[in-house]
Every structure is written in structure tokens, then in C-alpha cells.
Amino acid sequence: MRKQIAAANWKMNLTYQQGEELLDSILKEEISLEKDQQVVFAVPFPYLIMAAEKLKGRKNYFGSAQNCSDKKSGAYTGEVSAEMLHSIHITHCVLGHSERREYFSEFNQALAHKAELCLEYNITPIFCCGEPLSIREVGAEEGFVEAQLKESLFHFSEDQIRKIVIAYEPIWAIGTGMTATTAQAQEMHAHIRFLLASKYSKNTADIIPILYGGSVKAGNAKELFSCPDVDGGLVGGASLVAADFCSIIRALK
């Protein structure tokens, strides 16, 4: 079975102390994971070492960055490179979140470079895609997501693409409380898998985890994750409350 992943995206929330407390409360639950289940915590940069320390030795629990630079190294003040993440044993990195696309002008081409650098340093990119409401309203969401995948990922070899996790996050559902219906989520996830199969192979499409993101909550996770092509979630708001995120972990297939 392909991996089923509950990924927390803390965004720019919580102080260091609050972050430690949250992580401790979740880990204290000792939720045992099946072989194919994983839990990822995408935390702010200054908390990465603390998270990695706490997660060390816990099988299938990983720390993740929320972004990295599209440059390898050099005079780029304020940036953090994939190599730096690797040097502190970080194994995952969220890329192309819609908030980064919207507020920090991240485009598909730069995201392609970020994904390349992550793979070079053995970091699993959690690549976000998803359409704004205006695109869904005119029924153009499949083409929109297809362009994001083509321009950022489809230059990779089959071996490389197998190392990527995709997160489908319809922008209109992020932080709005407006979740996609299971039918809407399943339909887009199946479409993404179809695109992967057409570009690579069915085998490859079948092993790439596709997470759903956008108002995943304790109360709707089980239903969303029960869709055959939904392999877990990328969770913002509900990942900031220990009990809620624990329920979401327990909802994994």
C-alpha cells in the first residue's frame, strides 16, 4: 500500500515554548502507526532542530520545513537552503503552498528548482497544488492543477517523481472552514493520479501519496481519508490543537 500521511502545517503560529508543548502533548499519546502510516510536522525554521530532536527514534514521525530556497547557496540574505535542512537531518519540506504562491510570488518554475534541490539532498518535497475559487467556478480546475504539476514536477525522471508527495489543496478551502466534499476531493485526486500514470506509469502513479488539504478537521478526516485516492491530509488550523491532530492521525487508513 502507498504511504498514508498526516502532515501538520503550523504556518507562522505558536511561540517556541507553545510548539514544544504541542509536540509533547501529541507524542505523549504514543499513537502507534502501521508500517505505511507517517506523521509529519512542518514547523517554523527556528523550531526544526527541537522537533527533529523530539522525533528522533520515533518510527514514521518526521520533522519538515515549510519552504526552502530555490538557490543552492550564496548571497541570498534570509533564505534557507535544502542543504542546510539536510545538515540538521530534516527529511521533508513543504513546497509551493498557496500562501507562498500568493504572498511571496512563488511560481511553478522556481518551485521546480526547489524540488530539484530537495531531491538532491534527500529531502521529500510535499508539493502543494490547487486552484482558486475563480478557477473552480468556471470548471477549469483540472487544467489549472495539471499546469502546476507539469511546470514544476514533470521534468523529473520516474525514479525522482516516486520520491515526491503531492498535496492537493483547493485554495478556497484553506482556513475557510469550507472543505471540499469527498466527491470533489476524490475526483481531483483521481485526476492527478491519472496524469501521473499518463506521464510515467500506473505503477508509479499508484505509489505516490496524494494528500488533501483545506479545512481538514477531527470531524471530517475519516470521511475524506476513506476516499480511495486520498492518502491523508496536510492540516493547518486543526494541527495546532493536540487532541484534534491526534484524531486526524488516528483517522489515517
Q: What's the min distance (Å) between Cβ of 168 and ligand PGA?
A: 11
Are 170 and 131 spatial neighbours (Cβ–Cβ below 8 Å)? yes
Cα separations (Å) of 16 from 49, 50, 113? 11, 9, 30
Are 93 and 70 spatial neighbours (Cβ–Cβ below 8 Å)? no
Site for ligand PGA in 9-48 (CB under 6 A): 9
Q: Is 191 a catalytic residue?
A: no
Q: What's the min distance (Å) between Cβ of 157 and ligand PGA?
A: 28
Other C-beta atoms closer than 10 Å to the C-beta of 57 total: 7
Q: What's the min distance (Å) between Cβ of 159 and ligand PGA?
A: 28
Residue 235 binding ligand PGA, by CB under 6 A: yes
Residue 236 binding ligand PGA, by CB under 6 A: yes
Other C-beta atoms closer than 10 Å to the C-beta of 178 total: 12
Catalytic residue among 99, 141, 169, 189: 169
Stretch that binds ligand PGA, among 71-79, 153-161, 209-217, 223-231 (CB under 6 A): 209-217
Residue 4 binding ligand PGA, by CB under 6 A: no
Q: Which three cell numbers, joined as nine digits, stand for 230?
A: 486520498
Site for ligand PGA in 148-187 (CB under 6 A): 169, 174-175
Q: Which three cell numbers, joined as nine digits, stand for 216?
A: 481538514
Amino acid residing at 125:
P
Q: Which three cell numbers, joined as nine digits, stand for 101?
A: 504562491
Number of residues that bind ligand PGA (CB under 6 A): 13
Residue 132 binding ligand PGA, by CB under 6 A: no
Identified binder of ligand PGA from the candidate list 234, 246, 248, 252, rule CB under 6 A: 234
Q: What's the min distance (Å) between Cβ of 218 and ligand PGA?
A: 11
Stretch that binds ligand PGA, among 23-31, 61-69, 141-149, 229-237 (CB under 6 A): 229-237
The residue nearest ligand PGA at its CB is 236
- Spatial separation of the C-alpha atoms in residues 199 and 40, rounded to whole Å: 28
Residue 214 binding ligand PGA, by CB under 6 A: yes
Are 210 and 192 spatial neighbours (Cβ–Cβ below 8 Å)? yes
Residue 237 binding ligand PGA, by CB under 6 A: yes
Q: Is 169 a catalytic residue?
A: yes
Catalytic residue among 92, 97, 106, 189: 97
Cα separations (Å) of 107 from 129, 141, 149, 168, 170? 11, 17, 12, 16, 17
User: ∠ CA(121), CA(81), CA(50), 5° rounding?
Assistant: 90
Identified binder of ligand PGA from the candidate list 91, 124, 215, 220, rule CB under 6 A: 215
From the number of C-beta atoms within 10 Å of its C-beta (0-12, 13-18, 19+), residue 13 rates as middle
Catalytic positions: 97, 169
Question: Where does this chain bind ligand PGA (CB under 6 A)?
Answer: 9, 169, 174-175, 213-216, 234-238
